[in-house]
Structure 1
Amino acid sequence: MEPVARNLQLKAFFGGALALLGWVGVILVCGLPMWRITAYVGSNFVTSPSVWEGIWMNCTVQSTRKMQCTVYDSMLALSMDFQVARALVVISLGLGIVGLRMSFTSHKCNNYVLDKNSKKESALASGVVLIICGVLCLIPVCWTASTITNDLYNRGLVNGQRHELGASLYIGWAASFLLVVGGGLLCSTCPRTDDQKHYHLSTSL
């Protein structure tokens, strides 16, 4: 059973590590004002300045790379997709804290740990919470990307402006992937005791 327990611990470690990296990515997605980039286009080349938009602020970037950021005064200043994104990303961050804390307390889930049932339940619950965390981050990222893409193909240039996907969206996709994979590994960390007993009984027969 020692190799099995070692493999389970490795899966728990890598699952927690991937989930932690994904959660750090969600922090970047939340804080960086790079969800949507508005470039001013003229004569087939991009002119300055450009505007970076996030869920908390927008920044104007001059040709000299000087940046001036302004925090949104109210929710009314945000588009609908950004309003939903702000709420879901904040919830995702909170769930990530809960899921990671639960995963760290259950990383010793093996047959030699006392109260192993509670450890297994904690590992499974942490995996589910982290998967939900990844999905909550994925929804606003995909929604915003879809909105930008539809505007680009349906409307084209409006008043010389062109919307582009910001770096936060790509970080959000990567963070969601890491959270879902990490949560899945944590969910599969502890096999069911009933299944193990059934397997040993079948082999002995």
Structure 2
Amino acid sequence: MGNMVTEIVAFLLTISGWILVSSTLPTDYWKVSSVDGTVITTATFWSNLWKTCVTDSTGVSNCKDFPSMLALDAYIQVCRGLMIASVCLGFFGAILALVGMKCTRIGGSDAIKARLTVLSGFHFILCGLCCMTACSIYARRITTDFFDPLFVAQKFELGAALFIGWSGSVLCIIGGLVFFLSLSDGFSLRAEYSYRGAASFATTRHYPSKPASTLQKDTQEQRQFGRNAYV
């Protein structure tokens, strides 16, 4: 029962993290900058992995998609690939978790379910690592340009999407580790049960003992045989 509850908790953590990671990919505010006037903010610049936009004080946004994938900066291409890989890994991890959990009636025997649970935890850990790496690379570029005194172009700050991605990554990694923890508990219980079963079988296995009358008769026959051996 405790093992099943642990799997349910791990599943909730990983699914929540995967939803946050998936929502990070189309989120607008990966990096943000603003131009302030004397009274109000005159313009807000923001960008993500797919486009760059500017929003004026009236709320009207003008966006421009990145024209060519090959002309993009290398860090944006790497972040795109890592985020797409993270979403795909989380999707397959969720399917494996649904099949491998003990509270579901699909997946086959306990051994097969245990293997599927291992694969699910591994997928979610990779999902979290990919998303965390992508967000960290993007944030590294923003902070490097922001603190560079020789960088004269528009400087940006960290957007909300990065913090959402980091949160989802942590949830996915923790949930994957909890999946491994639940599996190790199941293996220890299974090993203890097999050891006890082997010990009980060894103690109960014995040869049937002969009654006392039969033993006396066999002793007398042996003595009679030894006395008449050379007659």
TM-score, with structure 2 as normaliser: 0.75
| Structure 1 SS opposite 2:136 | helix
**Equivalent position of 1:144 in the other structure:** 138
| Structure 1 SS opposite 2:29 | coil
Residue by residue, what CA displacement relative to the aligned partner does 1:28-61 show, whole Å, maximum 9, x if unpaired? 2110121111333678x98531211111122211
For 1:164, the aligned partner's letter is: E
**Equivalent position of 1:120 in the other structure:** 114
> Pairwise CA RMSD of aligned residues?
2.7
Query: Contact 2:28–2:46 (CA<8 Å) still a contact in 1?
Result: yes
**Equivalent position of 1:171 in the other structure:** 164
Deviation at 1:158, TM superposition (A): 2.3
Residue by residue, what CA displacement relative to the aligned partner does 1:85-113 show, whole Å, maximum 9, x if unpaired? 01110111111110000001111179xx9
In structure 1, runs of 5+ residues without a counterpart are 1-5
- Show structure 1 runs of 4+ deviating over 4 A: none
* Worse-superposed segment, 128-137 or 142-151: 142-151
**Equivalent position of 1:106 in the other structure:** 100
**Equivalent position of 1:90 in the other structure:** 84
| Structure 1 SS opposite 2:182 | coil
Q: Which has the higher contact order (CA 8 A, sep 6+)?
A: 1
**Equivalent position of 1:38 in the other structure:** 33
Query: Contact 2:17–2:167 (CA<8 Å) still a contact in 1?
Result: yes
In structure 2, runs of 5+ residues without a counterpart are 201-231
Paired residue for 2:47, among 49, 53, 68?
A: 53
| Structure 2 SS opposite 1:191 | helix
Change (3 A) 1:38 1:78: farther
Change (3 A) 1:27 1:7: same
Aligned residue pairs: how many?
195
| Structure 2 SS opposite 1:189 | helix
| Percentage of matched positions with identical amino acids | 27
State how far apart, in whole Å, the 2-side matches of 1:147 and 1:156 are. Answer: 14
Query: Contact 2:3–2:186 (CA<8 Å) still a contact in 1?
Result: no
Larger radius of gyration: 2
Deviation at 1:114, TM superposition (A): 5.7
Matched, 1:9 2:21: no
TM-score, with structure 1 as normaliser: 0.83
